[in-house]
Amino acid sequence: MSYAAIMVHFDAGPSAHRRLHLAVDLADRFQAALIGIAGKSYLPTFVPDGLTADEGAGGERQEMMDILADIGAEFRASAKHAKDVEWRGRAEHVNDLVSNAARAADLVIIGQESELDDELHYKLDPGIVMLSAGRPVLVVPDDVDSLAAQRIVLAWKDTRESRRAVRDALPFLKEARGVMIAEISERRTESQSRSHLDDTANYLLRHGINVEAKAYLGTESTVAGELLRFAADRKADLIVAGGYGHTRLGEWMFGGVTRDLLAESRICCLFSH
């Protein structure tokens, strides 16, 4: 029950090529199938009376299919060293497409922000994919092209999303040399935190994973800022965290942490919801 299939969003820009390089390497390391995916759809334009949007976009649809075929050829050429490769290019809204196709993979790899699409296209929104995929989502910053994942920081908070993230990240954690847990806590006392962190560390131990360090992050700057500084100090190249949206009241505050990590992190982040 490691990762058997890994999906990567590939839209042929320079950062997509770096992301694909990282994905090919992970697929090789986990002996997993690699699925490339891209979607393209125009923003709805003004539709005259009596015409449906589909009719209006007939020629554009063919154009999009041609572009997607080109991107697919580029994907196959760049991923030729991967053992088991599959390409999915569809003229569909990219957020829905990637979220639904996540049923085919154990891990979904996306960028911080899609760079190829101009303003006429829907962009892939990492936040939406993270909330609706039902799979862990690895967000790769634009200039990152590899992930050793030998030193990993677990951003812990006693919530459903954190519990998900810990289990989702097990294949990475098992391969790592150093795993550190950092509790993000504002109100709780340190002794309460300690028992929760001990419990999580014990859970990991039952999966054969030793935790190198446990930390309680203060809130001098922002939570995301503290996490990123801790990860840098510990020379980690991956942060595992719950991914929060703004749909529920209680998520609002942590939604800010997710947004900050998405915007500011220079290292990969694995989010679960």
In terms of CB distance, is 16 or 133 closer to another protein?
A: 133
For residue 77, give the amino acid letter. A
For residue 127, give the amino acid letter. G
Q: Among candidates 203, 148, 213, 209, which has minimal Cα distance to 180?
A: 213
Q: Which of 18, 19, 196, 214 binds another protein (CB under 8 A)?
A: 196
Q: How far is the CB of 143 from another protein (least distance, A)?
A: 30
Binding of residue 121 to another protein (CB under 8 A): no
Q: Among candidates 153, 134, 252, which has minimal Cα distance to 211?
A: 153
Binding of residue 93 to another protein (CB under 8 A): no
- Cα 212 from chain centre: 24
Binding of residue 207 to another protein (CB under 8 A): yes
Q: Which of 164, 194, 234, 259 binds another protein (CB under 8 A)?
A: 164
At which residue do the structure tokens 């709805």 appear? 44
CB 133 within 8 A of CB 124: no
Selected range binding another protein among 52-60, 140-148, 160-168, 180-188, rule: CB under 8 A: 160-168
Binding of residue 185 to another protein (CB under 8 A): no
Enter the DSSP assignment of 186: S
Binding of residue 17 to another protein (CB under 8 A): no
176: left (phi over 0), alpha (psi -120 to 50) or beta: beta
The residue ranges that bind another protein (CB under 8 A) are 1-2, 4-5, 32-33, 99-106, 131-135, 158-164, 166-167, 170-171, 196, 199-200, 202-203, 206-207, 247-248, 273
